[in-house]
Amino acid sequence: MKSLIAQSHSLSNPKKQLDVINNQNDRVKNLDKFEKKLNEIGLYPLKPTGIEIFQINVGYMCNMTCKHCHVDAGPDRKEIMSRETLEHCLRALDHSEITTVDLTGGAPEMNPHFRWFVDEVSKLKKHIIVRSNLTILDTRKFEDLPQFLADRSVEITCSLPFYSRRRTDAQRGEGTYDKSMKVLKLLNDIGYGKKGTGLVLNLVYNPVGAFLPPDQESLKKDYKKRLWDDHKILFNDLFTITNLPISRYLNFLMMSGNLEEYMEKLVTSFNPSAAMGVMCRNTISIGWDGNLYDCDFNQMLKLKTNHGAPDHIKNWDLEKLNSREIVVNQHCYGCTAGAGSSCGGAVT
């Protein structure tokens, strides 16, 4: 499967995506604007609580082409963060109060400077999270990477949209489930997910379809039981993440006739408590080209940090960014529906 951009698909254009989720038809158009909902609970304009997480999208290249991918990542994407931009990131991180560096993609492992950068961030004593699709670690080029990450106590947060083969493969491609189980066992073998090792292995669930995630704690118990009973696999935590209506997932919603129902569901499930805890309040997202965004979703919609805040890593100013106004739009309902959603799972 090709990325939307390689297909020259209209939904590869962020402006088109924003137009769809705002104006596709009367049902969509009549939904309350996100700003209005925030205003009703005294949260507009949305302001940061303070940046703790520095999430770097080191490139959109990926070995997979998942049906729901909000990045529209795939083997045909060539956007990769340069060493120069990574050095700007290191300068921003040095002596900052930021505690966590979250590496995402695409498959972040595919950035040619990945290992060098992880080493440099380790020297700064920051907690590092790598968001892995698991299957990349089943290739010869990357087979020694798990031990490299373990030696540096890097947390691995990986995608496993369900504990069943059927649903995992439906979203991520035939054979993904079996490869994922193989890599999870390998990670367990070197200590990941096991008590007392300090090596953290977290899984990410996201709905394989047009519905909201289950209760995180309840689902974690199901995952723990099924993965142990079926494969003797251990992991630390499970994060439930809601699919936001952008990019390939938006395409799925439109093609399957679920757009209106899903948007209505997100809006009617708006949870003020979840809005209080949205991740953009403590996270900054850095794009492959150094541009700054309030989150990885805004990055894909090319909604840069705004309202006078710096919008490129070269102009990093933590004080200004901590007092910025966060850019919101209708896709933000995905993070405030039900129990809320973030890169760390539910927020309530």
Task: Give me the residues that bind other proteins (CB under 8 A), please.
Answer: 162-164, 166-167, 207, 209, 211-215, 218-219, 222
- Quickly count: other Cβ atoms within 10 Å of residue 96's Cβ: 14
Q: At closest approach, how far in Å is the CB of 348 from other proteins?
A: 16
Q: At closest approach, how far in Å is the CB of 163 from other proteins?
A: 8
Please give the C-alpha separations between residue 107 and each of 8, 71, 326, 329, in angstroms, as whole numbers. Answer: 22, 11, 27, 27
**Helices then strands, each counted (H, E), the chain:** 15, 8
C-alpha 144 chain-centroid distance: 24
Among residues 146 and 334, whose Cβ is nearest to other proteins? Answer: 334
Q: At closest approach, how far in Å is the CB of 177 from other proteins?
A: 13
Among residues 23 and 164, whose Cβ is nearest to other proteins? Answer: 164
- Both structure tokens of 147: 């031990």
**DSSP sequence for 299-347:** HHTT-B--TTS--BGGG--HHHHHTPPPP--GGGHHHHBTT--BTTB--
Among residues 194 and 265, whose Cβ is nearest to other proteins? Answer: 265
Q: At closest approach, how far in Å is the CB of 29 from other proteins?
A: 17
Among residues 14 and 209, whose Cβ is nearest to other proteins? Answer: 209
CA atoms of 158 and 153, how far apart (whole Å): 15
Among residues 107 and 219, whose Cβ is nearest to other proteins? Answer: 219
Q: At closest approach, how far in Å is the CB of 255 from other proteins?
A: 18
Please give the C-alpha separations between residue 266 and each of 23, 32, 210, 286, in angstroms, as whole numbers. Answer: 16, 11, 10, 26
Among residues 27 and 91, whose Cβ is nearest to other proteins? Answer: 27
- Both structure tokens of 88: 């700007």
Q: At closest approach, how far in Å is the CB of 98 from other proteins?
A: 34
**DSSP sequence for 175-187:** THHHHHHHHHHHH
